[in-house]
Chain A
Amino acid sequence: MNPKVNIVVVVDVIGALSDGTLLNGNLCMIDDGEQSTGQGTPELCTVVRPGQVVTWSALAVDLQTPVEIKGITFLGADAEDGDADAEATDAGAGAGAGADGRNGQSGQNGRGGRNGHGPERHNPELEVWSGVVPQLAPGVAHQYRLEVQMYEGEHSTLHIASPALMCQ
Protein backbone atom coordinates (compact mmCIF):
# COMPACT_ATOMS: atom_id res chain seq x y z
CA MET A 1 0.00 0.00 0.00
CA ASN A 2 1.28 3.42 -0.90
CA PRO A 3 1.47 5.43 2.35
CA LYS A 4 0.46 8.60 0.51
CA VAL A 5 -2.29 9.61 -1.89
CA ASN A 6 -2.12 12.91 -3.73
CA ILE A 7 -5.24 14.60 -5.05
CA VAL A 8 -4.77 17.40 -7.54
CA VAL A 9 -7.55 19.88 -8.26
CA VAL A 10 -7.08 21.48 -11.68
CA VAL A 11 -9.08 24.66 -12.21
CA ASP A 12 -9.71 26.70 -15.33
CA VAL A 13 -9.92 29.94 -13.34
CA ILE A 14 -11.04 32.14 -16.22
CA GLY A 15 -13.69 29.61 -17.24
CA ALA A 16 -14.92 29.18 -13.67
CA LEU A 17 -15.16 32.91 -12.97
CA SER A 18 -16.78 33.59 -16.34
CA ASP A 19 -19.35 30.81 -15.95
CA GLY A 20 -19.78 31.31 -12.20
CA THR A 21 -19.44 27.58 -11.72
CA LEU A 22 -16.80 24.94 -11.26
CA LEU A 23 -18.87 22.60 -13.43
CA ASN A 24 -18.93 22.68 -17.25
CA GLY A 25 -15.41 21.30 -17.32
CA ASN A 26 -13.96 24.15 -15.29
CA LEU A 27 -12.63 21.83 -12.60
CA CYS A 28 -11.27 18.34 -12.73
CA MET A 29 -9.72 16.17 -10.07
CA ILE A 30 -7.05 13.55 -10.40
CA ASP A 31 -5.34 11.34 -7.84
CA ASP A 32 -2.60 8.75 -7.77
CA GLY A 33 -4.65 6.24 -5.80
CA GLU A 34 -4.94 2.70 -7.03
CA GLN A 35 -8.66 2.06 -7.41
CA SER A 36 -10.18 5.50 -7.57
CA THR A 37 -13.11 6.29 -9.83
CA GLY A 38 -14.16 9.48 -11.59
CA GLN A 39 -10.62 10.51 -12.49
CA GLY A 40 -10.58 13.77 -14.40
CA THR A 41 -14.02 14.81 -13.18
CA PRO A 42 -15.40 16.69 -10.15
CA GLU A 43 -16.85 13.34 -8.99
CA LEU A 44 -13.52 11.85 -8.05
CA CYS A 45 -13.91 9.08 -5.48
CA THR A 46 -10.51 8.32 -3.98
CA VAL A 47 -10.13 4.86 -2.52
CA VAL A 48 -8.04 5.07 0.64
CA ARG A 49 -7.05 2.97 3.63
CA PRO A 50 -6.86 4.01 7.27
CA GLY A 51 -3.43 5.41 8.05
CA GLN A 52 -2.78 6.72 4.56
CA VAL A 53 -1.89 10.40 4.25
CA VAL A 54 -4.05 12.27 1.75
CA THR A 55 -2.78 15.58 0.36
CA TRP A 56 -4.83 17.96 -1.76
CA SER A 57 -3.32 20.64 -3.95
CA ALA A 58 -4.71 23.05 -6.53
CA LEU A 59 -3.29 23.92 -9.91
CA ALA A 60 -4.43 26.53 -12.43
CA VAL A 61 -4.77 25.64 -16.09
CA ASP A 62 -3.43 29.11 -16.89
CA LEU A 63 -0.32 29.55 -14.75
CA GLN A 64 -0.86 33.28 -14.43
CA THR A 65 -4.20 32.89 -12.70
CA PRO A 66 -4.37 32.44 -8.93
CA VAL A 67 -6.20 29.53 -7.36
CA GLU A 68 -5.99 28.05 -3.89
CA ILE A 69 -8.00 25.59 -1.86
CA LYS A 70 -10.02 27.59 0.64
CA GLY A 71 -11.71 24.80 2.48
CA ILE A 72 -12.30 21.06 2.63
CA THR A 73 -15.22 20.04 4.79
CA PHE A 74 -16.33 16.44 5.12
CA LEU A 75 -20.09 16.12 4.95
CA GLY A 76 -22.20 14.12 7.35
CA ALA A 77 -24.40 11.18 6.46
CA ASP A 78 -27.27 13.48 5.50
CA ALA A 79 -24.93 15.42 3.20
CA GLU A 80 -27.26 18.39 3.01
CA ASP A 81 -24.71 20.21 0.91
CA GLY A 82 -24.35 17.30 -1.40
CA ASP A 83 -25.66 19.24 -4.34
CA ALA A 84 -22.89 20.60 -6.50
CA ASP A 85 -24.50 24.00 -6.61
CA ALA A 86 -21.12 25.58 -7.22
CA GLU A 87 -22.34 29.06 -6.54
CA ALA A 88 -20.40 31.87 -5.02
CA THR A 89 -20.51 31.02 -1.37
CA ASP A 90 -20.10 32.58 1.97
CA ALA A 91 -17.62 30.51 3.86
CA GLY A 92 -19.28 28.88 6.79
CA ALA A 93 -22.45 27.87 5.05
CA GLY A 94 -23.03 24.22 4.51
CA ALA A 95 -22.74 21.03 6.40
CA GLY A 96 -19.92 20.02 8.62
CA ALA A 97 -19.28 23.59 9.68
CA GLY A 98 -16.46 23.76 12.10
CA ALA A 99 -14.82 20.62 10.86
CA ASP A 100 -11.87 22.60 9.68
CA GLY A 101 -12.24 25.34 12.24
CA ARG A 102 -12.03 28.21 9.80
CA ASN A 103 -15.53 28.69 8.56
CA GLY A 104 -16.86 32.19 8.69
CA GLN A 105 -13.54 33.67 7.75
CA SER A 106 -13.54 35.81 4.69
CA GLY A 107 -10.70 36.18 2.27
CA GLN A 108 -9.92 39.60 3.65
CA ASN A 109 -9.20 38.98 7.26
CA GLY A 110 -7.06 36.37 8.85
CA ARG A 111 -4.05 35.90 10.94
CA GLY A 112 -1.16 38.21 11.48
CA GLY A 113 2.44 38.06 10.51
CA ARG A 114 2.38 39.64 7.06
CA ASN A 115 5.74 41.27 7.63
CA GLY A 116 4.48 44.77 7.12
CA HIS A 117 2.12 43.97 4.27
CA GLY A 118 -0.49 46.56 5.11
CA PRO A 119 -3.92 45.15 5.97
CA GLU A 120 -3.52 41.59 7.13
CA ARG A 121 -5.03 38.95 5.00
CA HIS A 122 -5.55 35.26 5.16
CA ASN A 123 -2.99 33.65 2.89
CA PRO A 124 -4.32 30.32 1.63
CA GLU A 125 -1.00 29.61 -0.02
CA LEU A 126 0.45 28.75 3.38
CA GLU A 127 -2.11 26.04 4.08
CA VAL A 128 -1.17 22.44 3.51
CA TRP A 129 -4.30 20.39 2.93
CA SER A 130 -3.12 17.09 4.27
CA GLY A 131 -4.39 14.54 6.77
CA VAL A 132 -4.31 10.95 7.93
CA VAL A 133 -7.26 8.77 6.95
CA PRO A 134 -9.06 7.64 10.14
CA GLN A 135 -11.02 4.41 10.51
CA LEU A 136 -13.95 4.85 8.12
CA ALA A 137 -17.02 2.78 7.44
CA PRO A 138 -15.92 0.67 4.48
CA GLY A 139 -17.71 0.92 1.16
CA VAL A 140 -19.20 4.29 2.04
CA ALA A 141 -18.34 7.32 -0.06
CA HIS A 142 -17.47 10.09 2.39
CA GLN A 143 -18.26 13.15 0.36
CA TYR A 144 -16.54 16.43 1.01
CA ARG A 145 -17.18 20.00 0.12
CA LEU A 146 -14.23 21.51 -1.70
CA GLU A 147 -14.02 25.30 -1.84
CA VAL A 148 -11.57 27.01 -4.12
CA GLN A 149 -10.62 30.66 -4.08
CA MET A 150 -9.62 32.50 -7.22
CA TYR A 151 -8.12 35.88 -6.38
CA GLU A 152 -10.39 37.77 -3.93
CA GLY A 153 -13.74 39.46 -3.70
CA GLU A 154 -17.40 38.61 -3.44
CA HIS A 155 -17.50 36.09 -6.28
CA SER A 156 -14.02 34.65 -5.89
CA THR A 157 -15.02 31.52 -3.98
CA LEU A 158 -16.80 28.59 -5.57
CA HIS A 159 -17.35 25.09 -4.31
CA ILE A 160 -18.35 21.59 -5.25
CA ALA A 161 -19.54 18.83 -2.96
CA SER A 162 -19.20 15.87 -5.30
CA PRO A 163 -15.76 14.38 -4.55
CA ALA A 164 -15.37 11.70 -1.90
CA LEU A 165 -12.99 9.44 0.00
CA MET A 166 -13.91 5.79 0.40
CA CYS A 167 -12.34 2.96 2.36
CA GLN A 168 -12.65 -0.53 0.98
Chain B
Amino acid sequence: MPQQLAVIVLVDVGNALESRTLDGNTYLFDNMKLQGSENQGTGELVTAISGSYWSDGSQASEQVLNWLPYSLGSIPPTVPRGYEAERARQTDEQALTELDHLAATSGTSGTDAAAELSRIRQSAGRRVKTTRRTRGRLSGQKVLDVTGKVVSDGGTQAHSYPAPVITDIYGQAVDEKVIYPAEYGSPDLVTDGWYWSATVDTSRPGTYAYTMRIQLHQLVEQGGESLWEPVNLTCESKIRVTTEPKRNAFTKAGLGLLPVPPRAFS
Protein backbone atom coordinates (compact mmCIF):
# COMPACT_ATOMS: atom_id res chain seq x y z
CA MET B 1 0.00 0.00 0.00
CA PRO B 2 1.42 3.39 -0.83
CA GLN B 3 0.00 4.73 2.43
CA GLN B 4 2.73 5.75 4.85
CA LEU B 5 2.41 4.20 8.26
CA ALA B 6 2.55 6.50 11.25
CA VAL B 7 2.91 5.75 14.96
CA ILE B 8 1.99 8.60 17.29
CA VAL B 9 3.78 8.50 20.63
CA LEU B 10 1.80 10.72 22.99
CA VAL B 11 3.59 11.28 26.30
CA ASP B 12 2.13 12.68 29.51
CA VAL B 13 5.36 14.52 30.19
CA GLY B 14 4.51 15.91 33.63
CA ASN B 15 3.54 12.54 35.08
CA ALA B 16 6.36 10.72 33.30
CA LEU B 17 8.89 13.10 34.85
CA GLU B 18 7.33 12.74 38.24
CA SER B 19 7.24 8.95 38.20
CA ARG B 20 10.44 8.66 36.15
CA THR B 21 8.86 6.10 33.84
CA LEU B 22 6.98 6.06 30.57
CA ASP B 23 4.97 3.02 31.68
CA GLY B 24 1.40 4.18 32.09
CA ASN B 25 2.29 7.64 30.81
CA THR B 26 2.52 6.87 27.10
CA TYR B 27 -0.37 6.54 24.67
CA LEU B 28 0.39 5.01 21.28
CA PHE B 29 -1.76 5.31 18.17
CA ASP B 30 -1.21 4.34 14.56
CA ASN B 31 -3.08 4.57 11.27
CA MET B 32 -3.15 0.79 10.70
CA LYS B 33 -6.29 -0.04 12.65
CA LEU B 34 -7.86 -1.18 9.39
CA GLN B 35 -4.96 -3.58 8.88
CA GLY B 36 -5.45 -5.04 12.36
CA SER B 37 -3.44 -2.93 14.82
CA GLU B 38 -4.47 -3.60 18.40
CA ASN B 39 -4.61 -1.69 21.69
CA GLN B 40 -4.82 1.75 20.10
CA GLY B 41 -4.52 4.57 22.60
CA THR B 42 -2.70 2.48 25.19
CA GLY B 43 0.93 1.77 25.94
CA GLU B 44 0.47 -1.76 24.57
CA LEU B 45 0.01 -0.95 20.90
CA VAL B 46 0.71 -3.75 18.44
CA THR B 47 1.16 -2.19 15.03
CA ALA B 48 -0.04 -4.34 12.13
CA ILE B 49 2.13 -4.25 9.05
CA SER B 50 0.71 -6.02 6.04
CA GLY B 51 3.21 -7.07 3.44
CA SER B 52 2.68 -8.81 0.16
CA TYR B 53 4.71 -10.92 -2.23
CA TRP B 54 4.63 -11.91 -5.87
CA SER B 55 4.25 -15.49 -7.09
CA ASP B 56 8.04 -15.83 -7.30
CA GLY B 57 8.30 -14.98 -3.59
CA SER B 58 9.76 -11.51 -4.04
CA GLN B 59 8.49 -8.62 -1.93
CA ALA B 60 5.66 -6.78 -3.68
CA SER B 61 5.18 -3.69 -1.56
CA GLU B 62 7.33 -1.54 0.63
CA GLN B 63 6.14 -0.49 4.05
CA VAL B 64 7.54 2.61 5.71
CA LEU B 65 6.98 3.38 9.39
CA ASN B 66 7.21 6.90 10.82
CA TRP B 67 7.22 7.82 14.50
CA LEU B 68 5.87 11.14 15.73
CA PRO B 69 6.27 12.05 19.41
CA TYR B 70 3.69 14.42 20.87
CA SER B 71 3.32 15.87 24.32
CA LEU B 72 0.35 16.09 26.64
CA GLY B 73 0.42 19.37 28.53
CA SER B 74 2.49 21.40 26.10
CA ILE B 75 1.84 24.25 23.75
CA PRO B 76 0.78 22.42 20.56
CA PRO B 77 3.65 21.90 18.12
CA THR B 78 1.49 23.37 15.38
CA VAL B 79 1.68 26.93 16.70
CA PRO B 80 4.21 29.02 14.77
CA ARG B 81 7.79 28.09 15.51
CA GLY B 82 8.65 31.58 16.73
CA TYR B 83 5.78 31.69 19.21
CA GLU B 84 7.88 31.32 22.37
CA ALA B 85 10.41 33.93 21.18
CA GLU B 86 7.57 36.27 20.27
CA ARG B 87 5.93 35.88 23.68
CA ALA B 88 9.29 36.52 25.39
CA ARG B 89 9.75 39.72 23.36
CA GLN B 90 6.21 40.91 24.07
CA THR B 91 6.57 40.43 27.83
CA ASP B 92 9.95 42.23 27.78
CA GLU B 93 8.34 45.21 26.03
CA GLN B 94 5.47 45.21 28.48
CA ALA B 95 7.89 45.16 31.42
CA LEU B 96 9.83 48.10 29.94
CA THR B 97 6.62 50.09 29.58
CA GLU B 98 5.69 49.34 33.16
CA LEU B 99 9.20 50.33 34.32
CA ASP B 100 8.86 53.63 32.45
CA HIS B 101 5.58 54.21 34.20
CA LEU B 102 7.10 53.31 37.56
CA ALA B 103 10.05 55.70 36.99
CA ALA B 104 7.62 58.50 36.26
CA THR B 105 5.45 57.83 39.30
CA SER B 106 8.00 56.63 41.86
CA GLY B 107 8.41 60.10 43.34
CA THR B 108 4.75 60.49 44.08
CA SER B 109 3.32 59.51 47.40
CA GLY B 110 1.43 56.25 47.75
CA THR B 111 3.70 54.32 45.35
CA ASP B 112 5.40 51.27 46.77
CA ALA B 113 8.30 51.07 44.30
CA ALA B 114 9.68 47.82 45.73
CA ALA B 115 6.33 46.02 45.51
CA GLU B 116 5.76 47.38 42.04
CA LEU B 117 9.20 46.20 40.87
CA SER B 118 8.52 42.77 42.29
CA ARG B 119 5.23 42.61 40.39
CA ILE B 120 6.92 43.64 37.15
CA ARG B 121 9.59 41.00 37.69
CA GLN B 122 6.86 38.38 38.14
CA SER B 123 4.99 39.37 35.02
CA ALA B 124 8.18 39.50 32.94
CA GLY B 125 8.90 35.84 33.66
CA ARG B 126 12.28 34.15 33.48
CA ARG B 127 14.43 33.00 30.65
CA VAL B 128 15.68 29.44 30.68
CA LYS B 129 19.43 29.12 30.47
CA THR B 130 20.72 27.44 27.35
CA THR B 131 23.43 24.87 27.69
CA ARG B 132 25.04 22.66 25.09
CA ARG B 133 22.95 19.74 26.29
CA THR B 134 19.65 21.57 26.41
CA ARG B 135 19.52 23.35 23.10
CA GLY B 136 16.07 23.21 21.61
CA ARG B 137 12.91 25.01 20.79
CA LEU B 138 12.32 26.29 24.33
CA SER B 139 15.92 27.00 25.32
CA GLY B 140 16.72 30.65 25.83
CA GLN B 141 13.02 31.42 25.89
CA LYS B 142 10.81 32.13 28.84
CA VAL B 143 8.87 29.44 30.62
CA LEU B 144 5.26 29.58 29.43
CA ASP B 145 2.13 27.77 30.45
CA VAL B 146 -0.04 26.00 27.89
CA THR B 147 -2.04 29.17 27.30
CA GLY B 148 1.11 31.12 26.40
CA LYS B 149 1.34 33.17 29.62
CA VAL B 150 4.77 33.56 31.16
CA VAL B 151 5.47 31.58 34.29
CA SER B 152 7.72 33.27 36.82
CA ASP B 153 8.25 30.26 39.05
CA GLY B 154 8.56 27.04 37.07
CA GLY B 155 9.23 25.12 40.28
CA THR B 156 5.72 25.55 41.59
CA GLN B 157 3.54 26.76 38.72
CA ALA B 158 2.16 24.62 35.90
CA HIS B 159 4.17 25.13 32.74
CA SER B 160 4.54 23.79 29.22
CA TYR B 161 7.20 21.19 28.50
CA PRO B 162 9.39 20.84 25.44
CA ALA B 163 8.09 18.10 23.13
CA PRO B 164 9.48 14.61 23.75
CA VAL B 165 12.36 13.67 21.50
CA ILE B 166 13.01 10.14 20.25
CA THR B 167 16.74 9.61 20.43
CA ASP B 168 16.99 5.94 19.42
CA ILE B 169 14.95 2.96 18.28
CA TYR B 170 16.44 -0.44 19.01
CA GLY B 171 15.61 -3.91 20.27
CA GLN B 172 14.46 -7.21 18.81
CA ALA B 173 12.93 -5.87 15.59
CA VAL B 174 16.13 -3.98 14.82
CA ASP B 175 18.51 -6.74 15.95
CA GLU B 176 16.69 -9.25 13.76
CA LYS B 177 16.81 -6.82 10.83
CA VAL B 178 13.04 -6.61 10.42
CA ILE B 179 13.02 -2.81 10.64
CA TYR B 180 15.77 -0.43 9.63
CA PRO B 181 15.17 2.74 11.63
CA ALA B 182 17.07 6.00 11.22
CA GLU B 183 16.56 9.65 12.02
CA TYR B 184 15.98 11.93 9.07
CA GLY B 185 15.94 15.67 8.58
CA SER B 186 12.50 16.98 7.74
CA PRO B 187 11.15 20.22 6.34
CA ASP B 188 8.17 19.77 8.67
CA LEU B 189 8.82 22.02 11.65
CA VAL B 190 6.00 20.39 13.62
CA THR B 191 8.55 17.65 14.30
CA ASP B 192 11.26 20.22 15.01
CA GLY B 193 12.91 19.38 11.72
CA TRP B 194 13.68 15.73 12.54
CA TYR B 195 11.81 12.46 12.53
CA TRP B 196 12.43 8.74 12.91
CA SER B 197 11.48 6.46 10.10
CA ALA B 198 12.05 2.82 9.17
CA THR B 199 11.57 0.51 6.25
CA VAL B 200 10.18 -2.92 7.11
CA ASP B 201 11.24 -6.29 5.77
CA THR B 202 7.83 -7.91 5.44
CA SER B 203 9.20 -11.22 4.23
CA ARG B 204 9.47 -12.61 7.78
CA PRO B 205 6.04 -12.64 9.42
CA GLY B 206 5.89 -12.52 13.19
CA THR B 207 5.55 -10.25 16.19
CA TYR B 208 8.64 -8.26 17.06
CA ALA B 209 9.26 -5.86 19.96
CA TYR B 210 11.24 -2.66 19.73
CA THR B 211 12.24 -0.01 22.24
CA MET B 212 12.19 3.77 21.82
CA ARG B 213 14.56 5.86 23.88
CA ILE B 214 12.71 9.09 24.57
CA GLN B 215 14.19 12.25 26.00
CA LEU B 216 12.00 14.51 28.13
CA HIS B 217 13.03 17.79 29.71
CA GLN B 218 12.52 18.84 33.29
CA LEU B 219 12.73 22.43 34.46
CA VAL B 220 15.29 22.63 37.26
CA GLU B 221 16.71 25.48 39.30
CA GLN B 222 20.48 25.53 39.44
CA GLY B 223 22.57 28.32 40.89
CA GLY B 224 19.64 30.70 40.77
CA GLU B 225 18.99 29.93 37.11
CA SER B 226 16.36 27.81 35.39
CA LEU B 227 17.33 25.24 32.83
CA TRP B 228 15.81 22.30 31.01
CA GLU B 229 17.47 19.13 32.28
CA PRO B 230 17.23 16.14 29.89
CA VAL B 231 15.70 12.96 31.29
CA ASN B 232 16.08 9.78 29.24
CA LEU B 233 13.40 7.12 29.50
CA THR B 234 12.44 4.12 27.39
CA CYS B 235 9.18 2.82 26.01
CA GLU B 236 8.52 -0.53 24.34
CA SER B 237 6.11 -1.32 21.54
CA LYS B 238 5.52 -4.12 19.06
CA ILE B 239 4.94 -4.67 15.37
CA ARG B 240 3.15 -7.66 13.88
CA VAL B 241 4.25 -8.38 10.34
CA THR B 242 2.10 -10.44 8.01
CA THR B 243 2.55 -11.17 4.35
CA GLU B 244 0.19 -12.50 1.71
CA PRO B 245 0.40 -13.28 -1.98
CA LYS B 246 -0.66 -10.81 -4.62
CA ARG B 247 -3.30 -12.06 -7.04
CA ASN B 248 -5.02 -10.85 -10.13
CA ALA B 249 -8.18 -8.98 -9.19
CA PHE B 250 -10.10 -10.00 -12.32
CA THR B 251 -9.27 -13.71 -12.41
CA LYS B 252 -8.36 -14.34 -8.72
CA ALA B 253 -5.38 -16.20 -10.13
CA GLY B 254 -3.00 -15.31 -12.95
CA LEU B 255 -3.22 -12.81 -15.77
CA GLY B 256 -6.19 -13.22 -18.12
CA LEU B 257 -8.31 -11.39 -20.64
CA LEU B 258 -10.13 -8.28 -19.42
CA PRO B 259 -13.84 -9.06 -18.87
CA VAL B 260 -15.19 -6.64 -21.44
CA PRO B 261 -18.76 -7.44 -22.58
CA PRO B 262 -18.81 -8.13 -26.32
CA ARG B 263 -20.04 -5.43 -28.69
CA ALA B 264 -20.97 -5.75 -32.31
CA PHE B 265 -18.16 -4.98 -34.73
CA SER B 266 -19.32 -2.41 -37.22
A113-B244, A127-B247 given as contacts; is B255 within 8 A of A68 (CB)?
no
Known pairs A134-B257, A165-B260; list 13 more (Cβ under 8 Å).
A63-B3, A65-B3, A68-B1, A74-B261, A114-B242, A118-B36, A126-B52, A128-B247, A128-B249, A130-B249, A131-B248, A132-B256, A139-B266
| A59→B2 contact, CB < 8 A | yes
Can you offer 22 A-B residue contacts whose CB atoms are under 8 A? A60-B3, A63-B4, A64-B4, A64-B31, A65-B3, A114-B36, A117-B35, A117-B242, A118-B36, A118-B38, A121-B34, A121-B36, A125-B61, A126-B244, A126-B245, A130-B255, A131-B256, A131-B259, A132-B258, A138-B265, A151-B34, A165-B260
Tell me whether B205 is interfacial, beta carbon within 8 Å: yes
Tell me whether B104 is interfacial, beta carbon within 8 Å: no
Q: Which of A22-30, A36-44, A85-93, A96-104 contacts B (4 or more CB under 8 A)?
A: A96-104
Q: How far is the CA of A137 from the CA of B250 in the complex (A)?
A: 21
Tell me whether A54 is interfacial, beta carbon within 8 Å: yes
| A133→B258 contact, CB < 8 A | yes
Other-chain contact of A142, B244, B256, B263 (Cβ < 8 Å): B263
| A66→B4 contact, CB < 8 A | no
Other-chain contact of A137, B246, B255, B266 (Cβ < 8 Å): B266
| Residue from A59, A127, A140 having most chain B Cβ neighbours under 10 A | A127
Question: How large, as a class, is the contact surface on chain A?
Answer: 35 or more
* A 120-155 to B, binary, CB cutoff 8 A, 1 in contact else 0: 010101111111111011111010000000011000
Other-chain contact of A128, B38, B48, B248 (Cβ < 8 Å): B248
Question: How large, as a class, is the contact surface on chain B?
Answer: 35 or more
| A100→B265 contact, CB < 8 A | no
| B50→A101 contact, CB < 8 A | no
Tell me whether A47 is interfacial, beta carbon within 8 Å: no
Tell me whether A72 is interfacial, beta carbon within 8 Å: yes
| A152→B34 contact, CB < 8 A | yes
Q: Give min CB distance, B3 to chain A, whole Å.
A: 5
Q: How far is the CA of A134 from the CA of B205 in the complex (A)?
A: 39
Q: Which of A53-70 contact B (CB under 8 A)?
A: 53-54, 58-60, 63-69
Q: How many contacting A-B pairs (Cβ < 8 A)? A: 116
* A 8-22 to B, binary, CB cutoff 8 A, 1 in contact else 0: 000000000000000
Q: Which of chain A's residues have a CB closer than 8 A to the CB of B246? A: 126-128
Tell me whether B72 is interfacial, beta carbon within 8 Å: no
Q: How far is the CA of A128 from the CA of B253 in the complex (A)?
A: 10
Q: Give min CB distance, A101 to chain B, whole Å.
A: 7
Q: Which residue numbers of B lie inside 8 Å of A, CB to CB?
A: 1-4, 6, 31, 34-36, 38, 48, 50, 52, 61, 205, 242-252, 255-261, 263-266
Q: Which of chain B's residues have a CB closer than 8 A to the CB of A66? A: 1, 3, 31, 34
Q: Which of chain A's residues have a CB closer than 8 A to the CB of B50? A: 123, 125
| A60→B2 contact, CB < 8 A | yes
Q: Give min CB distance, B96 to chain A, whole Å.
A: 46
A128-B248, A132-B255, A151-B34 given as contacts; is B48 within 8 A of A74 (CB)?
no
| B242→A115 contact, CB < 8 A | yes
Q: Which of chain A's residues have a CB closer than 8 A to the CB of B242? A: 114-117
